[in-house]
Structure 1
Amino acid sequence: MSQTRGLGAEARRLAEDERRSSNWKRWGPYLSERQWGTVREDYSAQGNNWTDFPHDAARSRAYRWGEDGLLGVTDRQCRLCFALALWNEKDPFLKERLYGLSGPQGNHGEDVKEEYFYLDSTPTHSYLKGLYKYPQAAFPYDRLVAENRHRGREAPEFELVDTGIFHEERYFDVFTEYAKASPDALLIRITVANRGPEAARIHVLPTLWFRNTWAWGRTGEGYWPKPRMSAEGEDAIIAEQDSLGRYRLHAQAPEGGALPERLFTENETNLERLYGVPNRARHVKDAFHDHVVHGRRDAVNPERVGTKAAFHYVLEVPAGGSVRLSLRLFPEAERPEVLFGEDFDRLFEQRIHEADEFYDARLPSTLPEEERRVARQAYAGLLWSKQFYHYAVQPWLEGDPNSPPPPASRLKGRNRDWGHLYNRDIISMPDKWEYPWYAAWDVAFHMIPFARIDPLFAKEQLVLFLREWYMHPNGQIPAYEFEFSDVNPPVHAWACWRVYKMTGTQGRRDRLFLARTFQKLLLNFTWWVNRKDVDGRNLFTGGFLGLDNIGVFDRSKPLPTGGQLHQADGTAWMAFFCTTMLSMALELAQEDPAYEDIASKFFEHFVAIVDAMNHLGGSGLWEEEDGFYYDHLWLEGHDVPMRVRSMVGLVPLFAAEVLSDRLIERLPGFSKRMRWFLENRADLAHNISYMAAPEGGEAGGYRLLAIPSRERLVRVLRRVLDPREFLSDYGVRSLSRVHAEEPFVFRVGHEAHRVGYVPGESDSGMFGGNSNWRGPVWFPLNYLLIEALERYHHFYGDSLKVECPTGSGRMMTLAEVARELSSRLCRLFLPDATGRRPCHGEDPRFAEGPDWRELVLFHEYFHGDSGRGLGATHQTGWTALVVQCLTDAHRTQG
């Protein structure tokens, strides 16, 4: 366990978990924030997931494939779940889950409308802390829908704060903390603070329930007989399940108060409410709503048994005061002598100390306190966003024996070609509300910061997506549940290579991990070559490739013009894939010469792609006049450049790898074939003439493989570093700002397709949702650009300097440019002299409010001019890359 090195209790827990001597990760924050509205819960004829299972049905309909909850936890198979339910005596129903607008309701797509924050977590979740801000006035469900419905795409989203509901600080801060006494025993602490000027009452229902695995008529793995909960004594709920055994949940009375009432019902659908037919169970999923909100005492089971139970606290919280609740969940065999008291509080303090100790060992001691706070919250969000994800396509297509059969259209619809896919794992999610399903290329970026705190999890996740029950038999990696066959950028190899290098020193790295991933990535590479190079010309057209909404056309659909689109990014991604696979093969060849052959193949592939990109048909996808790479439309024998200066033209910079002459000399087979190729393919040799080290020997002993020549690299960077084009105060924009005044227009018949710079929310529904690559700053591609600049500097050294910013007269090496871009990305989250963090926009609460100003949100992307956070509010996965930027010295050189 190379990453533990005596770093304290949490590191030892990680080591025990890796050895499987203690299952410290069995319990964690694995509940989704939203299970309703997902594809896997959609059983409609037309695949309308938002309307088939809306938020209003979530409290009444039993989920088929998972569970959701408010700041909750569950075991790794999502059998037994714990989360909060709240009621302020104003809302029409209990607050059991986060609310947000569905895709069709929002003027910029789906959007959560709540204020919640992930504050802390260790990798084993031995300590967890989260915060939910619950308004004391009635939650404005209808107003949020109505206002956003009336707003067009040109207007910003109407948010919860815009309703005025937080006026005079009339809300509760609900903090939830978990501390593990053992792998299976959890201490739970709920602190309710009244931030308002008057005393206020709140109902708190810590809820325990079993995921419904028994009602579908299936048996086998993941399906168990119906479990049982019951009351025992005055303060206990007993939960019994075949595979978990017998668990106990105990509650303590609040200071000066009485023990809470215990409520029981079944986690079964309320058929009568939803469909107007008789219920199968007398007591149903939404019974606690009827009991607490409507006073229906007969809604809950008077015999105090069921599959869902809760303690019902009614708290009067004084103005500016707080109330603390304590609970304990543990297996019967681990019952302590004393449930609560000094030992309970002491364990929390110990786990908090251990969390501080763990991160102190992984963050530079010189990191300032504010940067340290941002890094800790970024890691917290990354870890809280792990989720139990269950989706087996074949049973989903077929339907269940005890349920109405799915419509026949399902067999011709979404994901029908992925019948082999079987997912039932803990997976790192982009955002557990907005994207509570994995996206393959997001996961690759997530694993970079994960590698620093939990290298085993990082490697296991990367291997998981290459397993035969994930990867298609044809070699494709599943994209995301809305369309597994869509095409994400091929960054999985890069992530495997980076994690390999980050999780061990030279000579002590995990070769087995590298070899396992390399073999499966060969299948993925073959799929790309066979399916995406339509004409065999080494120019690739890969679909939307993650850059949805950035181009002239929706690249996932047939072109309205006919013809083919040769993609600068698609082709460059393949070159990037090649250089990464080449580096992996050369590493493996040092111990197994058989890999030298495949290394030669990737070298030849790369040179052929570079030739096509730079010279095919004259200048390939390079436009000499503009000094930029563009997509080209090949139509009726004509090659038409799509002159949109966007991230599409920056991806070619990523495909750069520095090879050591010393390494090449140690591999005689590869060295011989490379020399033969250079000598016998003179038609391609001119494209790799810049492989040799520059004269003068500054980079002696190294060779560069890259798409742009030195001159072309400098020309592209001139635009990248120009504030009038790509360079913002907060990173590199996804579209040149020049298109604000000079939009690109392409006419097809009577239609005009227009691309203009939009720094904030999308003004186009081309790819649906809130997707917008027409101006904002996105972390993942900024990060790849920074890494590429570091590799170029490794080769060119101080011999290559560029003006940064363009027009400033200030010359920088490429390493200095990389640090400058990294610093601008960090600036998004750090307070300025007025206390304002750009990511929070103009919201004064985060600059002035004592209970807000230390809170940070890690959005999906950021306004290209102001840095305001946009899109999913908790996409901490790839935005957690800010930790790498804050701790630059922790990154290994490529």
Structure 2
Amino acid sequence: MNTEQRRLQEIQEQNIPWKKWGPYLSERQWGTVREDYSHDGQAWDYFSHDQARSRAYRWGEDGLGGISDDHQLLCFAIALWNGQDPILKERLFGLTGTEGNHGEDVKEYYFYLDNIPTHAYMKFLYKYPQHSFPYSHLVTENAHRGREGMEFELLDTGIFSENRYFDVCVEYAKASPEDILIKITVDNRGSEEATLHVLPTLWFRNTWSWKGGVEKPKLEQVSSTNDFRKIVAYHPQLGDYCLYSQGNTCVLFTDNETNLDRLFHVPNEGEYVKDGINNYVVNRQKEAVNPHKIGTKAAPHYFMDLVGGSRKVIQLRLAKNRDIAQPFGEEFERIFNTRQREANEFYDQLAPQSLTVEQRAIQRQAFAGLLWNKQYYSYNVAQWLKGDETMPYPAPERELIRNGQWIHLDSNDIISMPDKWEYPWFAAWDLAFHCIPLALIDPDLAKHQLDLMTREWYMHPNGQIPAYEWNFNDVNPPVQAWATWRVYKIEKKYSGKGDRIFLERVFQKLLLNFTWWVNRKDTEGKNVFEGGFLGLDNIGVFDRSAQLPTGGHLEQADSTSWMAMYCLNMLAIALELARENPVYEDMATKFFEHFLYIADALNHIGPDKTQLWDNEEGFFFDVLNLPNGERIPLKIRSMVGLIPLFAITTLEPDLLEQFPRFKARLEWFIRHRPDLKRNVACMETSGEKARRMLALCYATRDRLVPEDKLRRILNQLLDENEFLSPYGIRSLSRYHQDHPYSFWVGDEEYRVSYEPAESTSALFGGNSNWRGPIWLPLNFLIIEALQQFHHYLGDQFQVECPTASGQWMNLWQVSQDLSQRLLRLFLNDPSGCRPVFGGNNKFQYDPQWHNSLLFYEYFHGDNGAGIGASHQTGWTGLIAKLIQQIGEYRG
């Protein structure tokens, strides 16, 4: 057991609070639903980036490379000023959902370089231009560009030409759980001298302005020497902390209070306000900071002139101990060196020996991004709807805009976020994918995240799991059971023991959620599900969250398949729990039967009906049910038709012998209900090592069987002219590049074409694209499904990969080929370029940029370039798990 693993053990066994402090600040609190008190729900417009420096947040805080305690009472982050900008750089800038030509988009370059589960060591890098930041240029130029055009990025402005920028690296090392050493390293990457102001900022989240009688905390400079300054933070709940800042620099104080005068043209309630330090440094308003050295926001002010190519280092220390006589010096460096060594040891022991140095570096940065994207999330919906007693009463129509049915939701937790700038709020199905790689490094965190979404302060009393902040009512794929089962298995594999209490607790709550799905999303009671949004945004010809322009309803192949997968995941969990509690055997039987009925509905509705499986095309399609009873298959070759692959599980022969009642029920169906097992699940024939298989896609080892759904789907999946890209599986077949799908409603055309990059559709803000690009999460599920099929079919079942190549592979080999294609996104190709960086020469050829990776939301379907949110390590972090699997397979 290495040192980091011992710290994780100390948390569990001794309640030592190693995780009390972490990277829990958001990258963006402005423009969120939580901060929106408007009458029309236009969150981006209600609280803007321009307001953020002057307006106190209600529910959370943001900062640059920052940390906070786990209730975000006290926060620390850096602020910068290059002497040219109109404002301090205190937070990341980006375009709102209405400003970007493809939706919201961060316009900064920052990187999560390292982190470990207890956050005993963390490293963050920000690239800050030396010339005035082009805020307005980015907004106006992107406004000129339509959805067909490329996004206008910060590098496109030329502001980084001749390397006129600073690398600002922030590192944290914990001497103890509440003694945090901070090192800020500034490099002038240009050739000329440049000036930089660095303001490491400590502040309290404003918890006192919203309700009367709340005690206000205080920051105060208590002493100073030639070697350091000392600020004491007094808080009635958190206790006292002390920030030591190296050197005899001046410390600036103000209050984290809204500047009412600037924003609303009414008198301020106090003399010092949130943007006081900004106004002092940038606008030279000497009266903007408190000369008495007290407040609720403070920053030592470091001014440095750096000659070209030079470096300067600033040291700080945030500690519970107010009496550290020598906060810096040899001990400071020793602790940093020790924590860096321990981080290396932690990841070296985790990574399989067969991995290359480059593969290890990619995996480590993916883990770092996952850990940096943990965020304190506070949102009391009832309080938010009602408003605060000291504030103006919000417009009552807000209850009708969003989340009015979720008044029970009261979050006050650390949650894994998809991306703390573009998606700084939990998304339930994204979160399920985050937990898979997290289980490799911190299984307790992964388990807690899955458990959290099923607790009574999140899950609706009716059993619905909240989707995401913009609309908790939306419907995402029900992947929680799959993630719960996988996290359980991963921990059991690496620790030798599975957490059955966790498994049972979540299973019990998922029973409620499963019932909600069955009761709410099967309109005609025939086990065919609609589902609506399902997280695939604009994949269909219609907006599946809105009323259909034709009337009627959709029978969705993907929604129905997700439910079949849900049944099999719950079946697997129930059988595992039945090993110690026989009650769960009956529940396993129930899910087995439910799966059969769903599978039959997906494959065979009846002789007079159009089924979701199209035998002529060899693919699954959605079916549109019109009000007059007509049923029209929507023949779009998309991920919708591949999701049926995910519904598969295998049953070991010893498991069946252990549960005779379950086995008897299975055999009864084989004998008495041949209509349900036909082309549905290979329950009767035993496969490798006498295993049984339950699956939606029928498969045999005989290549000549025409009913073999698996082969027919794989024929398209592995076709390079359809789904198979050099970098993974596309979300839409490239067939639709030359054969777009059109559906006419009166004189209006609804159209789906293959778009390998950004979508031209305006659905869901226009920044989500399932019409061609490659998405890691569903690629990951395809890989897992192929491995499950191989588990049953063995090496004898082979397919051409790629289709028509003459190269035959078993399904395990196909899964490895897909994994390698996905890994190729991040690896250097023979020319030394990484596909993820596309045509960006700065990232491709500059050594100061090339090895700082970005884990994008999705990837170009033809060339692998990263698209969408640039820090979506949330689910793109799945690459870390695939790398682990590749290394273990080689080993």
Q: Deviation at 1:225?
A: 1.7
CA contact (8 A) 1:610 1:687 kept: no
CA contact (8 A) 1:86 1:204 kept: yes
Partner of 1:724: 721
Match of 2:659 among 667, 670, 681: 667
Q: Tell me, in whole angstroms, the C-alpha distance in 2 between the residues paired with 1:16 and 1:53.
A: 42
CA contact (8 A) 2:74 2:202 kept: yes
With structure 2 as the length reference, what TM-score do the two structures score? 0.97
Q: Tell me, in whole angstroms, the C-alpha distance in 2 between the residues paired with 1:663 and 1:407.
A: 59
Letter in 2 for 1:418: W
- Pair 451,670 (structure 1): closer, same or farther in 2 beyond 3 Å: same
Matches for 1:85-484 after TM superposition, within 5 Å: 85-217=79-211, 225-234=215-224, 235-253=229-247, 259-332=248-321, 335-484=323-472
Q: Deviation digits for residues 606-658 of structure 1, max 9, x if unmatched?
A: 00011111110346201111110000001122221100000000000010100
Partner of 2:619: 628
Q: Deviation digits for residues 460-508 of structure 1, max 9, x if unmatched?
A: 1110000001000000100001000100000000000000011014972
Q: Deviation at 1:243?
A: 1.5
Q: Does 1:16 align with 2:10?
A: yes
Partner of 1:651: 643
| More deviation, 833-842/276-285 | 833-842
Q: Does 1:57 align with 2:56?
A: no
Q: Deviation at 1:673?
A: 2.3
Q: Deviation at 1:677?
A: 3.2
- Pair 688,751 (structure 1): closer, same or farther in 2 beyond 3 Å: closer
Partner of 1:39: 33
Q: Does 1:752 align with 2:746?
A: no
Q: Kindly, what percent of the aligned residue pairs are identical?
A: 57
Q: Deviation digits for residues 215-273 of structure 1, max 9, x if unmatched?
A: 10167xxxx521001112121111100112111111112xxxxx211100110000000
Partner of 1:74: 68
Q: Does 1:834 align with 2:825?
A: no
The secondary structure found in structure 1 opposite 2:169 is strand
Partner of 2:703: none
Q: Point out where structure 2 has 5 or more consecutive residues left out of the alignment.
A: 700-707
Partner of 2:694: 705
Letter in 2 for 1:553: F
Letter in 1 for 2:11: D
Partner of 1:692: 684
Partner of 2:629: 637
Partner of 2:868: 871
CA contact (8 A) 2:242 2:321 kept: yes
The secondary structure found in structure 1 opposite 2:199 is strand
Q: Tell me, in whole angstroms, the C-alpha distance in 1 between the residues paired with 2:337 and 2:685.
A: 56
Q: Tell me, in whole angstroms, the C-alpha distance in 2 between the residues paired with 1:100 and 1:549.
A: 23
Partner of 1:3: none
Letter in 1 for 2:553: Q
| More deviation, 92-101/585-594 | 585-594
Match of 1:520 among 509, 533, 558: 509
The secondary structure found in structure 2 opposite 1:825 is helix
| More deviation, 14-23/376-385 | 14-23
Letter in 1 for 2:831: T
Q: Tell me, in whole angstroms, the C-alpha distance in 2 between the residues paired with 1:862 and 1:821.
A: 15
Partner of 2:671: 679
Q: Tell me, in whole angstroms, the C-alpha distance in 1 between the residues paired with 2:496 and 2:378.
A: 38
With structure 1 as the length reference, what TM-score do the two structures score? 0.96
Q: Tell me, in whole angstroms, the C-alpha distance in 2 between the residues paired with 1:531 and 1:89.
A: 58
Q: Deviation digits for residues 658-713 of structure 1, max 9, x if unmatched?
A: 0112201111221222223333334323245622335xxx6142111000111110
Q: Tell me, in whole angstroms, the C-alpha distance in 1 between the residues paired with 2:837 and 2:12.
A: 39
Q: Tell me, in whole angstroms, the C-alpha distance in 2 between the residues paired with 1:286 and 1:398.
A: 28
Letter in 1 for 2:68: T
Partner of 2:803: 806
Q: Deviation at 1:832?
A: 1.1
Q: Tell me, in whole angstroms, the C-alpha distance in 2 between the residues paired with 1:297 and 1:685.
A: 80
CA contact (8 A) 1:884 1:891 kept: no
Q: Tell me, in whole angstroms, the C-alpha distance in 2 between the residues paired with 1:25 and 1:41.
A: 27
Q: Does 1:557 align with 2:528?
A: no
Partner of 1:790: 787
Match of 1:498 among 486, 494, 504: 486
Q: Deviation at 1:885?
A: 1.5
Q: Tell me, in whole angstroms, the C-alpha distance in 2 between the residues paired with 1:624 and 1:158.
A: 45
The secondary structure found in structure 2 opposite 1:123 is coil
Q: Deviation at 1:332?
A: 3.0
Q: Does 1:767 align with 2:764?
A: yes
Q: Tell me, in whole angstroms, the C-alpha distance in 2 between the residues paired with 1:690 and 1:148.
A: 54
Q: Tell me, in whole angstroms, the C-alpha distance in 2 between the residues paired with 1:631 and 1:798.
A: 33
Q: Deviation at 1:342?
A: 1.1
Q: Tell me, in whole angstroms, the C-alpha distance in 1 between the residues paired with 2:675 and 2:818.
A: 38
CA contact (8 A) 1:127 1:351 kept: yes
- Pair 64,459 (structure 1): closer, same or farther in 2 beyond 3 Å: same
Letter in 1 for 2:376: F
Q: Tell me, in whole angstroms, the C-alpha distance in 1 between the residues paired with 2:680 and 2:328.
A: 70
Q: Does 1:844 align with 2:834?
A: no
| More deviation, 673-682/8-17 | 673-682
Q: Tell me, in whole angstroms, the C-alpha distance in 2 between the residues paired with 1:420 and 1:812.
A: 52
Letter in 1 for 2:410: Y
Q: Point out where structure 1 has 5 or more consecutive residues left out of the alignment.
A: 1-5, 254-258
Q: Tell me, in whole angstroms, the C-alpha distance in 2 between the residues paired with 1:647 and 1:9.
A: 43
Partner of 1:776: 773
Q: Tell me, in whole angstroms, the C-alpha distance in 1 between the residues paired with 2:529 and 2:888.
A: 31
The secondary structure found in structure 2 opposite 1:595 is helix
Q: Tell me, in whole angstroms, the C-alpha distance in 1 between the residues paired with 2:619 and 2:669.
A: 29
CA contact (8 A) 2:718 2:802 kept: yes
Q: Tell me, in whole angstroms, the C-alpha distance in 2 between the residues paired with 1:700 and 1:689.
A: 18
The secondary structure found in structure 1 opposite 2:711 is helix
CA contact (8 A) 2:189 2:308 kept: yes
Q: Deviation at 1:21?
A: 3.0
CA contact (8 A) 1:693 1:699 kept: no
Q: Tell me, in whole angstroms, the C-alpha distance in 2 between the residues paired with 1:413 and 1:108.
A: 24
Q: Deviation digits for residues 785-819 of structure 1, max 9, x if unmatched?
A: 00000000000001210000012110000000000
| More deviation, 614-623/55-64 | 614-623
Q: Deviation digits for residues 92-115 of structure 1, max 9, x if unmatched?
A: 000000000000000000000000
Aligned length: 874
Partner of 2:702: none
- Pair 669,449 (structure 1): closer, same or farther in 2 beyond 3 Å: same
Partner of 1:825: 822
Q: Tell me, in whole angstroms, the C-alpha distance in 2 between the residues paired with 1:672 and 1:533.
A: 29
Q: Tell me, in whole angstroms, the C-alpha distance in 1 between the residues paired with 2:838 and 2:538.
A: 24
CA contact (8 A) 1:804 1:810 kept: yes
Partner of 1:599: 588
Letter in 2 for 1:540: F
